[in-house]
C-alpha cells in the first residue's frame, strides 16, 4: 500500500470467524511472526477475557497488501482488543493500511480510539492524524530486554552484576531445587504452575482459563517453555516463557511465599536463561512489561511502551475528550520541569 493513490478497500467485521475467513490464512502463525498479531491470540482474548463492548475488526486491503486493527467498542469509544496478558498491541500486517482504517473508523462516528501497549506508535499516530483525528501519545508502561545474538549463557552470566551472580549461585547450591523445563503442555506441570501461583505474592489471576489455553496452544506449536522448580517433590516456583523466531518472551513468573528464603524464583530464572541461550540460541530476551527494579539486573535495555489516544473532532464527545487530554498533557509537562 505504499502508493496512497491506489484504492484501498476497508471492511469491518463483528465476528472473528468471519474476519479469519476473509484473511485466508494471512493472520495465522506462518504469516504473522508476532504472537500478538495473530487471529489465534485475539480469539483467546475474545473467549476468555474480552474488554467491555462489542468486537470490531477493521481490515484494509489494496495493492496486494492487507492490515487489521482489532478493537472493542463500547458507547462510541473504541479500545484495543487487549487484556492484561497483552505484552504488545499493534496494527497487524501492512502499516500502509492504517490511514484508511482510521478514516473508516471516523465514518463510524466513534468519539475516540485508545491503543496500548504500542512499541512503535509513530506510524499509527501519523495515520490517525492524517485521517483527521486529534492524537495524543503518553507512556503506558515499560519493557526490559536484552540482545543475546551469538551469546551463550556463560557469556551472558559473566556480564550480570556481581551481587546477582553471587547471590544466585549461592542460593542455587544451598536450595537443592529440582528444575524441569517443559517444552510441551503437561497437565501435571500445569497443576504445579497453578499451585505456585495460588501461594505466591501475585494478585489473583485474571483468567486462569486464558493462560491454560495459551499454554496448550503454544505447547502444541513447540514454543512453550514452562519451568517448574520443586523442593522435596513440591513445586515452589514456576515460569511461563514462549520462544519463537529467535525471541524468548517471559510471560508469567511466580514463587511460593513459604519458600522465599530459598530464592526459588532466582534459581529458576538462572535455569530458564541457560536453557533459552544454550538450547534455543535466542537472539533476544524480552521480560514482558513492567518497570520492576529487579529486571535491570537481568536485562540491559529499557524501552517505553506507549498509549495512543485519538479523538474524533466531528463528534462532541471527541472534542471534549481531546480537550481533557490536552489539559492532562500540559499538567504532565509542567510537573516534569
3-state secondary structure 89-128: CCCEECHHHHHHHHHHHHHCCCCEEEEEEECCCHHHHHHH
Mapped onto helix, strand or coil, the DSSP state of residue 272 is: helix
| 8 Å CB contact between 60 and 91 | no
For residue 250, which phi and psi values (nearest 5 degrees)? -90, 110
- Convert the pLDDT of each residue in 127-150 to its tens digit: 999 999 999 999 999 999 999 999
- Assess whether pLDDT exceeds 90 at residue 331: no
Locate CATH 3.40.630.30 in the chain.
150-282
**Beta 54-62 vs 301-311: how paired, if at all?**
unpaired
Over the stretch 220-255, which tens digit does the pLDDT of each residue have?
A: 999 999 999 999 999 999 999 999 999 999 999 999
Assign 5 to helix, strand or coil.
coil
Dihedral of the alpha carbons of 243, 39, 120, 286, in degrees to the nearest 10: -20
CATH topology of domain 9-142+304-336: Aminopeptidase (3.40.630)
Nearest to 251 by CA among 309, 308, 212: 212
Distance CA 273, CA 120 (A): 27
Cis peptide bond N-terminal to 117, omega within 30:
yes
Q: What are phi and psi of 273, to 5 degrees?
A: -65, -40
DSSP state at residue 170: H
* Architecture of the domain delimited by 150-282: 3-Layer(aba) Sandwich (3.40)
Mean pLDDT computed over every residue of the chain: 95
DSSP 8-class letter at 14: S
Residue 324 has pLDDT above 50, yes or no: yes
Check whether 121 has a pLDDT greater than 80.
yes
Amino acid at each position: 500500500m505504499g502508493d496512497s493513490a491506489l484504492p484501498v478497500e476497508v471492511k469491518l467485521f463483528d465476528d472473528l470467524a468471519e474476519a479469519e475467513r476473509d484473511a485466508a490464512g494471512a493472520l495465522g502463525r506462518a504469516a504473522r511472526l508476532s504472537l500478538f498479531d495473530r487471529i489465534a491470540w485475539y480469539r483467546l482474548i475474545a473467549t476468555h477475557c474480552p474488554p467491555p463492548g462489542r468486537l470490531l475488526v477493521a481490515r484494509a486491503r489494496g495493492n496486494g497488501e492487507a492490515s487489521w486493527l482489532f478493537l472493542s467498542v463500547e458507547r462510541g469509544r473504541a479500545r484495543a482488543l487487549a487484556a492484561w496478558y497483552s505484552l504488545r498491541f499493534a496494527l497487524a500486517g501492512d502499516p500502509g493500511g492504517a490511514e484508511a482504517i482510521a478514516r473508516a473508523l471516523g465514518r463510524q462516528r466513534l468519539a475516540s480510539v485508545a491503543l496500548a501497549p504500542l512499541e512503535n506508535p509513530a506510524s499509527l499516530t501519523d495515520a490517525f492524524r492524517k485521517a483527521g483525528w486529534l492524537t495524543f501519545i503518553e507512556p503506558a508502561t515499560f519493557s526490559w530486554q536484552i540482545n543475546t545474538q551469538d551469546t551463550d549463557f556463560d557469556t551472558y552470566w559473566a556480564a550480570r552484576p556481581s551481587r546477582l551472580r553471587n547471590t544466585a549461585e549461592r542460593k542455587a547450591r544451598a536450595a537443592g531445587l529440582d528444575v524441569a523445563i517443559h517444552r510441551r503442555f503437561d497437565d501435571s506441570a500445569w497443576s504445579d504452575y497453578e499451585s505456585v501461583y495460588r501461594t505466591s505474592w501475585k494478585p489473583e489471576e485474571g483468567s486462569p482459563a486464558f493462560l491454560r489455553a495459551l499454554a496448550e496452544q503454544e505447547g502444541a506449536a513447540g514454543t512453550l517453555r514452562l519451568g517448574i522448580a520443586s523442593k522435596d517433590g513440591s513445586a515452589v516456583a514456576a515460569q511461563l516463557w514462549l520462544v519463537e523466531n529467535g525471541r524468548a518472551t517471559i510471560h508469567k513468573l511466580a514463587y511460593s511465599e513459604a519458600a522465599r528464603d530459598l530464592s526459588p524464583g532466582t534459581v529458576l530464572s538462572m535455569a530458564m536463561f541457560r536453557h533459552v541461550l544454550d538450547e534455543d540460541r535466542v537472539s533476544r530476551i524480552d521480560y514482558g512489561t513492567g518497570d520492576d527494579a529487579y529486571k535491570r539486573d537481568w536485562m540491559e535495555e529499557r524501552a517505553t511502551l506507549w498509549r495512543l489516544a485519538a479523538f474524533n473532532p466531528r463528534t462532541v464527545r471527541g472534542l471534549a475528550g481531546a480537550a481533557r487530554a490536552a489539559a492532562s498533557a500540559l499538567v504532565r509537562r509542567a510537573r516534569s520541569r
